[in-house]
């Protein structure tokens, strides 16, 4: 029994998507009273869906594929060409193992140690500053720590410029015009720089530590037993450093939440680490980051009476699933306590994708992200004092990625 999907009338809705941003899919799920609907994007029929069941379907490898799903402009800035995001099946699994091999508890602890060290030396600098734009300063901390963690040598003189370049990879993702071109230029520069380092590793002129990304990826072999092309290794090393720097966005929201919810801050101070983790999880659920992710229908199939045609672009609603009133009580309320009774599950809390890490595309850096955010909560609350001057901390649910307007300014910084 095949039924027509609820369908948005009209020739094309790419502009509505740009105009409504994070709320484009949730708004229509609400008005159609359906977790799935058909629309037209980039001149073609597309399917949008959200909620637990839709997420589970989206991660079914038999039904969806990633090859050809990401729009070109995202490949040119955010992702890079031929990276793990674009692979399917055994090839993807092999490449994903390469990423997950870096995610041991010990390696994550090393990264946290590097970040704390950099953070503490920055606090000394902040003590002497009239005002600190947290977003910008944190990006430099993360850039230093991420490069070191990845085995990528970087000169202190280059930190500012490289930080900007990595930043523009994720800040330009939805941009059109000049910012899109800035993002593309930044990707070319960064990939060229990392590419030269990979050549040096392969010529044995540069010897990064063994379990760093630069070492592991330079010597990684694909299913056929071959080393990856230099360009591809560069894309994957950038796939480690760029998103670590992007945690700055969640860190800005973390600082904002600490400021806006003083009762939660007090609870962090009086509770154990478990509450800090709940707080961090709520930051990841509540604030906007990735609105949705894209795949293509792999072969024709029918689900709940709806027909999916091969090659149809399909978007999974991440933001809307994290705010789905059938999954979360009062989703618009910032409430870390909700995680004390949260039952878990791979398809309902999906700020960094859902499903399985190895066999699916779920974010390779989710554990890192949570640990970095927990360490930052500790630094902000227990290791330093600061004031938050009057400023515009509003953030948009339209522009992607969403960042508080002031980029979070603090002053009167003092070490505790």
Binding segment toward ligand HEM, per CB under 6 A, in 157-165, 236-244, 261-269, 320-328 = 236-244
Please confirm whether the linkage preceding 401 is cis (ω < 30° from 0). yes
Q: How far is the CB of 302 from ligand HEM (least distance, A)?
A: 23
Taking CB under 6 A as the rule, does residue 84 contact ligand HEM?
yes
Contact 30, 50 (CB under 8 A): no
Map the footprint of ligand HEM across residues 246-275, applying CB under 6 A. Answer: 246-247, 250
Which lies closer to ligand HEM via its Cβ, residue 363 or residue 403?
A: 363
- What is the DSSP secondary-structure string of 337-370? GGGGS----TTTS-BTB-S-TTTS---TTHHHHH
Taking CB under 6 A as the rule, does residue 365 contact ligand HEM?
yes
Q: Which of 240, 376, 393, 409 binds ligand HEM (CB under 6 A)?
A: 240
Q: Which of 369, 379, 402, 406 binds ligand HEM (CB under 6 A)?
A: 369
Size of interface with ligand HEM, in residues (CB under 6 A): 24
Taking CB under 6 A as the rule, does residue 233 contact ligand HEM?
no
> With 0-12 CB in 10 A as exposed, 13-18 as middle and 19+ as buried, what is 226?
exposed
- Cα–Cα distance list, 306 to 1, 36, 324 (Å): 8, 9, 22
Which lies closer to ligand HEM via its Cβ, residue 183 or residue 353?
A: 353
Taking CB under 6 A as the rule, does residue 289 contact ligand HEM?
yes
Binding segment toward ligand HEM, per CB under 6 A, in 32-40, 173-181, 355-363, 378-386 = 355-363
Distance CA(181)–CA(207), nearest Å, equals 34
- Cα–Cα distance list, 70 to 15, 166, 228, 235 (Å): 18, 20, 21, 15
Classified as helix, coil or strand, 235 is helix
Consult the annotation and say whether 363 binds a ligand: yes
Q: Which of 54, 55, 28, 51 is nearest to 41 (CA)?
A: 28
Could you identify the residue written with the tokens 């740009």?
18
Q: Which of 55, 293, 315, 388 binds ligand HEM (CB under 6 A)?
A: 293
Q: Which of 24, 37, 99, 275 binds ligand HEM (CB under 6 A)?
A: 99
Which lies closer to ligand HEM via its Cβ, residue 46 or residue 364?
A: 364
With CB atoms as reference, the residue minimizing the distance to ligand HEM is 365
Bridge partners (DSSP) of residue 41 are: 44
Which lies closer to ligand HEM via its Cβ, residue 6 or residue 360?
A: 360
Interacting residues of 148 by C-beta distance below 8 A, sequence separation 6+: 114, 154
89-100 and 230-260 are packed helices; what angle lies between their axes, rounded to 10 degrees? 60
Binding segment toward ligand HEM, per CB under 6 A, in 117-125, 132-140, 359-367, 392-400 = 359-367
- Dig out the tokens for 227 from the structure: 């080393």
Contact 29, 35 (CB under 8 A): yes
Q: Which of 93, 184, 215, 362 binds ligand HEM (CB under 6 A)?
A: 362
Q: How far is the CB of 364 from ligand HEM (least distance, A)?
A: 4
Q: How far is the CB of 351 from ligand HEM (least distance, A)?
A: 6
- Dig out the tokens for 205 from the structure: 């002129």
Taking CB under 6 A as the rule, does residue 351 contact ligand HEM?
yes
Which lies closer to ligand HEM via its Cβ, residue 37 or residue 58?
A: 58
- Cα–Cα distance list, 373 to 114, 278, 306 (Å): 14, 11, 40
Which lies closer to ligand HEM via its Cβ, residue 363 or residue 413?
A: 363
Taking CB under 6 A as the rule, does residue 243 contact ligand HEM?
yes
| Known binding positions for heme | 363
**Would you tell me which residues interact with ligand HEM (CB under 6 A)?**
84-85, 96, 99, 239-240, 243-244, 246-247, 250, 289-290, 293, 351-353, 361-365, 368-369
């Amino acid at each position: 029994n095949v039924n027509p999907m609820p369908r948005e009338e009209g020739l094309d809705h790419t502009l509505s998507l740009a105009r409504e941003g994070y709320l484009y899919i949730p708004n229509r799920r609400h008005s159609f009273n359906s977790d799935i609907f058909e629309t037209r994007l980039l001149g073609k029929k597309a399917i949008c869906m959200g909620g637990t069941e839709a997420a589970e379907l989206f991660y079914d490898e038999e039904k969806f594929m990633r090859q050809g799903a990401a729009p070109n402009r995202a490949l040119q800035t955010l992702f890079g060409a031929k990276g793990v995001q674009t692979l399917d099946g055994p090839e993807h699994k092999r490449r994903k193992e390469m990423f997950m091999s870096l995610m041991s508890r010990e390696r994550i602890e090393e990264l946290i140690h590097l970040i704390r060290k950099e953070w503490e030396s920055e606090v000394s600098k902040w003590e002497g500053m009239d005002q600190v734009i947290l977003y910008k300063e944190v990006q430099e901390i993360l850039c230093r720590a991420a490069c070191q963690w990845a085995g990528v040598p970087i000169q202190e003189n280059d930190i500012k410029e490289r930080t900007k370049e990595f930043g523009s990879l994720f800040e330009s993702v939805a941009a059109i015009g000049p910012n899109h071109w800035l993002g593309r230029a930044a990707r070319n520069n960064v990939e060229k720089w990392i590419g030269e380092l990979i050549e040096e590793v392969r010529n044995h002129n540069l010897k990064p530590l063994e379990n760093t990304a630069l070492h592991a990826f330079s010597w990684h072999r694909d299913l056929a037993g071959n080393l990856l092309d230099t360009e591809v290794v560069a894309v994957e090393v950038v796939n480690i450093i760029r998103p670590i720097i992007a945690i700055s966005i969640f860190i800005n929201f973390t600082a904002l939440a600490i400021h806006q919810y003083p009762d939660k801050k007090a609870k962090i101070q009086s509770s154990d680490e478990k509450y800090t983790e709940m707080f961090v999880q709520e930051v990841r659920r509540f604030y906007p980051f990735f609105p949705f992710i894209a795949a293509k229908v792999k072969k024709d199939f029918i689900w709940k009476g709806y027909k999916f045609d091969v090659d149809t672009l399909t978007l999974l609603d991440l933001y809307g699933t994290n705010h789905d009133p059938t999954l979360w009580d009062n989703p618009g309320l910032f409430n870390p306590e909700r995680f004390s009774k949260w039952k878990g599950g791979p398809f309902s809390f999906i700020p960094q994708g859902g499903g399985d890490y190895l066999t699916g595309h779920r974010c390779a850096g989710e554990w890192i992200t949570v640990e970095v955010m927990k360490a930052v909560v500790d630094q902000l609350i227990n290791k330093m004092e600061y004031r938050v001057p009057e400023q515009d901390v509003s953030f948009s649910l339209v522009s992607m990625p969403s960042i508080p307007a002031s980029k979070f300014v603090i002053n009167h910084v003092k070490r505790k």
